[in-house]
Chains A and B, each alone.
Chain A
Amino acid sequence: MTKKRAVRKSSNRNIYIGISVAVIVAGVAGAYFLFGSLIPQISSPQINPADFSFPNRLGAEDAPITILEFGEYQCPNCASFHRNTKDLLVSRYVDSGIVKIYFRDFAYYGQDSTDAAVAARCAGDQGRYWDYHDVLFSTQGQINSGWANKTQLVGFAVAIDLDVPTFASCLNSGEHLSEVESDFAEGVRLGVGGTPTFVIIGPDGRQQIIVGAQPFSAFERIIESLLIG
């Protein structure tokens, strides 16, 4: 009798374990499919590196690996990438001539985001695109809280010693607005579904995608695999 009860108990326990495993698998699979259905997937970016004519490049022109970063200056995840991964990526791969990075504006949070993107390009006109880019990410505030309004953007230009009248005139004229809009349109065309999204292009044109503020190890693995060919 006791033996029968023990067998039944053990069998019940197995059923419970089975149910729990099923719930866990269903939870993870559910989350995965939720993501899969909500997020536009970049399957084949169809980017030809030879088409690039972007003036603001970080790294050597002949670097074999190209990284396109679709980013937004008000996005916390982009700032997180900037703080935690970018420096290591630059010191390991950009400074050694293996990687070049282009920042493509995927500004979708409204006017402040668009103005910040235009402002960075205006700084680029004075050869200080990346300095201004770094200032924007390192001083990022809450979304649409006014930290990136035009007054603040001019203040950042003062802080890094730009020619302020020229900068302000460029910012107010919206000189680079069409470029910013064109970057966004290209991102949409490619299926960018959030920021930051990275398209990493190898020397043979093979392309890999990284979505989110992923750690350096993820970039390292992709870059090394593209270099091996």
Chain B
Amino acid sequence: MVSLIAVRLVYSHPKYFLLALAIAFSVAITMFLLDGFLFLSPVLVFFLPTEKLLDFSLLVFISGLSGLVAPMAIYSYSNLRSRNVGQGTLGAFGSLFGMVTGVCGCSSVGFALITSLGAVGTAGTAFLSNFQLPLRLLSISLLVVSFIYANRSITRECKIIPNTLGQPARIEIRHQQPN
């Protein structure tokens, strides 16, 4: 069972909330461009065919998770004693995986890879294209694991003071390293 106290703790700071929005938005835009949902030229146009609804939903989910996980990893790294670099790396890999799966071989980026890397590029982009769905699910799994780690590490490092009569719940960091 994942408690959401850590989420509330991190996102009670506006800077982390805004950072989450910025990351989610940037990841989403990049993935929409790579995957052919958003086109910048000759006119700015967004296109969502019904057959790609599942792909689109997964991309939105990956973007949202990236936005959720990254600030939590940053918070735990900058504020807490146990600076767990692993959880941030895992989250970053999750986001990157999600983005890379959009590099279909026939997209412009995919073709550039094929021409640069030859047979390896062809095999690589064909693999990304053929296994797009499982790779995206893997990306989501990495992000979820990263979220659980970040959540656990923040909860463990913080002292949660429950409601008492007339007093709101409080959260205190167990050490003296406030940022």
Residues on A facing B (Cβ under 8 Å): 12-13, 16-17, 19-21, 23-24, 26-28, 31-32, 35, 38-40, 72, 74-78, 80, 83-84, 108-110, 142-145, 193-196, 208-215, 217-218, 221-222
Contacts and interface: CB of A to CB of B under 8 A. Distances in A.
A57 B10 CA distance: 61
Given A20-B19, A143-B130, A39 B39 contact: no
Given A17-B18, A23-B22, A214-B45, A193 B130 contact: no
Contacts of B130: 142-143, 145
A31 B30 contact: yes
A112 to B, nearest CB: 11
Chain B interface, DSSP helix/strand/loop, else mixed = helix
B143 interface: no
B24 to A, nearest CB: 10
Contacts of A39: 108-109, 112
Given A16-B15, A109-B122, A80 B49 contact: yes
Nearest to B50: A84
A76 B26 contact: no
A202 to B, nearest CB: 13
Contacts of B117: none
A75 B104 CA distance: 8
Nearest to B40: A32
A24 B43 contact: no
B86 interface: no
Given A24-B25, A75-B105, A213-B36, 10 more contacts: A16-B19, A20-B22, A26-B26, A83-B51, A109-B105, A109-B122, A143-B130, A194-B107, A196-B106, A215-B45
A23 B106 contact: no
28 contacts: A12-B14, A16-B18, A16-B19, A17-B18, A19-B15, A19-B22, A20-B18, A20-B21, A20-B22, A24-B25, A24-B26, A27-B27, A35-B33, A35-B108, A39-B109, A39-B112, A40-B112, A72-B106, A77-B36, A77-B106, A80-B49, A83-B51, A108-B122, A143-B129, A194-B112, A195-B106, A212-B107, A218-B45
Nearest to B32: A31
Contacts of A80: 36, 49, 51-52
Nearest to A225: B42
B91 interface: no
Contact of B14 (A16, A35, A72, A195): A16
A213 B106 CA distance: 10
Max chain A Cβ within 10 angstroms of own Cβ: one of B22, B114, B130 = B22
Contacts of B45: 214-215, 217-218
Contact of B111 (A16, A78, A108, A218): A108
B132 to A, nearest CB: 9
B106 A210 contact: no
Contacts of B15: 12, 16, 19
B23 interface: yes
Contacts of A212: 36, 39, 107-108
Contact of A194 (B25, B42, B49, B111): B111
Contacts of A26: 26
Nearest to B104: A76
A145 B130 CA distance: 9
Interface in B32-82: 33, 36, 39-43, 45, 47, 49, 51-52
A84 B112 contact: no
Interface in B107-129: 107-112, 114, 122, 126, 129
Given A76-B129, A208-B42, A194 B108 contact: yes
A6 to B, nearest CB: 14
A215 B51 CA distance: 14
